[in-house]
Chain A
């Protein structure tokens, strides 16, 4: 069994065992099995980065076996510089989620932990599939555990949120399915994504394909104006669900642009880049302003996620190396930072059972350690140099200025909004005098929560101070992608 197969199937196997044998009477054992499972799953992904060869854009750790011979569908896995970090990020976030749920989830613990472990394996499958149908199967299968997570452990309006999440994303991906089958037939019976990259396609076909993929990925990212499901879902989802959703699931969409839309339909991608850039800028600026007026912390972070993902898509569609690499770095950084923000809100919610900003004030007085951590994450969310948030945004803005000064200027102003809404929320929740009795009775974070936040803090600082390992890995793949996209695929 190859490394990627292990990365996919180890968490799924642990999840299946938990579902089959876990009982609430043995909740403690279930938690430990889940923790061991998530740690083992993370450890098996480590060789992917240590043995990764920089300087080549080829797929690495490739595994290929026939899966459905009737349609020439292969179990074909591989990672390159664009995807390898996401495999590790997914496994890492899963550990954090397991820790975050430790005492918080007391009912049906085995199903909660099992769902997250299975979800982790499926998402790793999305990042490592290089067969179109295998990608689709993993991409869609993630909906099932997430639907159950939101619906079972979510907030008061959980059912609405679960349905909205499922149906919204299903609509997009069904159109992608038609596109995949179309490509299969056009390419003479192959689901190999790399073969599709080389497939000549007419301009008309490329446009249709581009928008079919757009339907799937834009909803997932989510881009303005199809982002409306995200705030609703984030508010209702349990803490772990929000963290995984923001940290990883949104990246599935952005990753799809890199793997499908741009290389398969490069001419359409260039033709419609103006639209993508416009939507990204709206996300960055307008949604940033929307975030500022939110009363609900989770909603605020959700809108801030949309704005940050706007930077990612902006970076991709200005077609230069700084932009694309910056977009990917921003995806990874946002994975750490947004995950941390949601987990922080979860820490407060577990104590006070409110997400309203108005219900807090002066938390720093009673929870100094926690407030310190959150200050770091808030700074990372605004893109302060030295934190993970800075690197990606800086690269994207530089890339944008290179492409067009005004786009660069517009995206740079968004940094101000980002700082405004994040710091204003921080001020209202953490600073000042103690706001009310609830806050007065707060106890600071315990060892478990400290561990969880410390792990994320290390990641955020490491990425901010020493981003080279991240960018080195992706350099060759980004260069290759841009070289590929620059060549027209319209048959002459």
Chain B
């Protein structure tokens, strides 16, 4: 069964695995505090992987390998490409911060980061319940260790513990749900499950029972309310560099498994899971936006903002199947994909700025720590302002088009209920605008506490500037990325 074609589907994973092992060894010979050699080697590896997946994605073909265990399709490859790039950017932003806090010793941050990425890759390309679950566990186990990287820090250890306990429970939910599906349909293969359910011969009650657990497990992983409790604690407690590592790239993988499980596998049950996602989306929008207002800690505020943004992503997934008709599916799912990709881009910039302002012994994680940033450094204040306006969904920044695409998918369904949801989402984003604006207010309108200028290593400065500029440029010409997402989703749905 394992023919030549199969290997093509996992070339990036092989490169990543081999290089992760090699880099772990190379790091033994690198004893410098900043781990320059390990760092450069990791970045090169990630760039190569990003290029490989990017090229595979632009070929636009969907290839199954290893007896339909893995699939290499444009959606998956683009998400892998973006995840690699996101991890690269994370490492660039995070290295000075981690070096100051003695987190680079042993080079674990790089190797664990790469193993986490490998886990994401497996999740993204898995077309089999077990493989998806394995990928998820590889990702989350690496993440638990990453959060606990500062052994001597009580807050970080607490966050790691919470993350582990709740994460393990969520994995348990997901696994239980998947086992129900297996029991009902007799297959672990996503496409086989789809066929079995579509045939209508499977007991609906058992399916819905399993579905509830799957949706709950997924909701845990993306941090949708009411399964969001871990998000604020972990975001705040983890060292900021690690917060970014678990808050950016993994969202892409989480989106991928939602598509793989719910759409590719369980689309015949759409009418059931769409209702569940709608409830989760409403709860996330309410909880995320309202709780964010009360926060004084910037990381915690961004955690609640993540919850509300996930609400929007889920809203996009709600509108795919209308009255049993899938004509709206490609618009709805590509809207969500566009949303999650641009969300990751903005998250990188916002945490990048926090990391940049943090110094040895100073975390810069209170909102007031940004006071008067415009006077200290107009450039970084500008990047942060662009990010905040984008998260608030103000044009001409890319976040606006993400919201537009989701709202369009909802309204195109023509259902009064969905149009009502769109109006509700719009009103909640008005609430959201308030706390994003508050960050801008602190940076621009308040007087600085310290007059010291902000200095940053050249790599951080360059990448952060490009990151901020991309949010603006993609806002002025968003067409390309939208088309890319649309094509990827169409190719995936066609399978």
A pairs with B: yes
Question: Given contacts A137-B396, A174-B430, A177-B404, is CB(A151)–CB(B422) below 8 Å?
Answer: no
Does A152 lie within 8 Å of B483, measured CB to CB?
no
Contact pattern, A 402-425, Cβ under 8 Å of B = 1, otherwise 0: 000000000000000000000000
Q: Which of A137-181 contact B (CB under 8 A)?
A: 137, 140-141, 143-144, 147-148, 151-152, 158-159, 162-163, 166-167, 170-171, 174-175, 177-178, 181
Does B407 lie within 8 Å of A177, measured CB to CB?
yes
Task: Check if A450 is an interface residue, CB within 8 A of chain B.
Answer: no
Task: Check if B63 is an interface residue, CB within 8 A of chain A.
Answer: no
Chain A contacts for B477, CB-based, 8 A: 67
Task: Check if A185 is an interface residue, CB within 8 A of chain B.
Answer: yes
Question: Given contacts A141-B394, A162-B441, A163-B434, is CB(A185)–CB(B414) below 8 Å?
Answer: yes
CA gap between A175 and B423 in the complex, in Å: 7
CA gap between A369 and B419 in the complex, in Å: 59
Task: Check if A437 is an interface residue, CB within 8 A of chain B.
Answer: no
Does B433 lie within 8 Å of A166, measured CB to CB?
yes
Chain A contacts for B404, CB-based, 8 A: 133, 177, 181
Chain B contacts for A147, CB-based, 8 A: 437, 440
Chain A contacts for B394, CB-based, 8 A: 140-141, 143-144, 170
Does B430 lie within 8 Å of A185, measured CB to CB?
no
Does A159 lie within 8 Å of B426, measured CB to CB?
no
Q: Which of B426-460 contact A (CB under 8 A)?
A: 426-427, 429-430, 433-434, 437, 440-441, 444-445
Task: Check if A381 is an interface residue, CB within 8 A of chain B.
Answer: no
Does B434 lie within 8 Å of A178, measured CB to CB?
no
Chain B contacts for A152, CB-based, 8 A: 374, 444-445
Does A159 lie within 8 Å of B445, measured CB to CB?
yes
Most A C-beta atoms less than 10 A away, residue of B394, B407, B478? B394
Majority SS at the chain B contact face: helix
Contact pattern, B 387-398, Cβ under 8 Å of A = 1, otherwise 0: 001000011100
Question: Given contacts A68-B478, A70-B482, A163-B434, is CB(A136)–CB(B395) below 8 Å?
Answer: yes
CA gap between A158 and B404 in the complex, in Å: 31
Considering the complex, give the chain A residue whose CB is closest to the CB of B422.
Answer: A178
Contact residue among A108, A141, A181 (Cβ-Cβ distance under 8 Å from B411): A181
Considering the complex, give the chain A residue whose CB is closest to the CB of B483.
Answer: A70
Chain B interface residue count, Cβ-Cβ cutoff 8 angstroms: 37
Task: Check if A100 is an interface residue, CB within 8 A of chain B.
Answer: no
Question: Given contacts A68-B479, A144-B394, is CB(A162)–CB(B426) below 8 Å?
Answer: no
Task: Check if A426 is an interface residue, CB within 8 A of chain B.
Answer: no
Chain A contacts for B405, CB-based, 8 A: 71
Contact pattern, A 87-115, Cβ under 8 Å of B = 1, otherwise 0: 00000000000000000000010010000
Task: Check if B68 is an interface residue, CB within 8 A of chain A.
Answer: no
Considering the complex, give the chain A residue whose CB is closest to the CB of B389.
Answer: A144
Does A163 lie within 8 Å of B483, measured CB to CB?
no
Contact residue among B375, B412, B433 (Cβ-Cβ distance under 8 Å from A185): B412
Task: Check if B303 is an interface residue, CB within 8 A of chain A.
Answer: no
| Distance from B400 Cβ to chain A, minimum over Cβ atoms (Å) | 7
CA gap between A67 and B401 in the complex, in Å: 13
Task: Check if B172 is an interface residue, CB within 8 A of chain A.
Answer: no
Q: Which of B30-56 contact A (CB under 8 A)?
A: none
Contact pattern, B 135-155, Cβ under 8 Å of A = 1, otherwise 0: 000000000000000000000
Does A141 lie within 8 Å of B396, measured CB to CB?
yes
Does B445 lie within 8 Å of A170, measured CB to CB?
no
| Distance from B338 Cβ to chain A, minimum over Cβ atoms (Å) | 9
| Distance from B353 Cβ to chain A, minimum over Cβ atoms (Å) | 18
Does A175 lie within 8 Å of B395, measured CB to CB?
no
Chain B contacts for A185, CB-based, 8 A: 408, 411-412, 414
Considering the complex, give the chain B residue whose CB is closest to the CB of A140.
Answer: B395
Does B396 lie within 8 Å of A163, measured CB to CB?
no
5 tightest CB-CB pairs across the interface, nearest first? A137-B395, A68-B479, A151-B445, A70-B482, A174-B426
By a beta-carbon cutoff of 8 Å, the part of chain A in contact with chain B is 19, 66-71, 108, 111, 133, 136-137, 140-141, 143-144, 147-148, 151-152, 158-159, 162-163, 166-167, 170-171, 174-175, 177-178, 181-182, 184-185
A selection of 12 A-B contacts at a CB cut-off of 8 Å is: A70-B483, A141-B394, A148-B444, A152-B444, A163-B434, A166-B433, A167-B433, A177-B407, A178-B419, A178-B423, A181-B407, A185-B414
